[in-house]
């Protein structure tokens, strides 16, 4: 073998080959076509994200509410009740029409300082059944 034959290799190589004007025009057309397709797909994706968000957000809010109820072990509801103050015990009882106590809590400092009972509240009598 000669020294010259050692300098040559035969095979496929990736080399820069100059494009013709026709090839450049074809590539530009394909490029802009691809851009339009990408734009259309981006719009579809954005619409899908909006739809997904509209469907998932109410479910997430519901789960937050349920989780809070599970953690606290209570559900907060609007109920018709009478607020009864027991100054001796320092509590406020919420009583339904049947006289059953629905909830009891300690009086707040501002409630303890009040001299007059607010309208709609009654002082707890000795008998639990009297209002």
Query: How high is the mean pLDDT in each 10-residue block of the chain (131 residues)?
Result: 69 91 97 98 97 97 96 90 86 91 88 60 53 48
pLDDT score for 46: 97
Tokens of 99: 């006289």
């Amino acid at each position: 073998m000669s020294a010259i034959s050692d300098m040559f290799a035969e095979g496929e190589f990736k080399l820069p080959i100059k494009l013709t004007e026709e090839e450049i025009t074809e590539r530009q057309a394909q490029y802009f076509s691809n851009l339009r397709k990408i734009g259309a797909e981006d719009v579809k994706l954005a619409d899908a994200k909006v739809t997904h968000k509209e469907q998932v957000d109410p479910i997430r809010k519901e789960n937050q509410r349920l989780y809070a109820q599970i953690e606290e072990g209570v559900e907060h509801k609007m109920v018709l009740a009478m607020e009864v103050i027991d100054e001796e015990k320092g509590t406020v009882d919420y009583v339904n029409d049947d006289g059953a106590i629905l909830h009891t809590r300690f009086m707040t400092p501002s409630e303890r300082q009040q001299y007059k009972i607010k309208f709609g509240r009654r002082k707890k009598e000795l008998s639990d059944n009297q209002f």
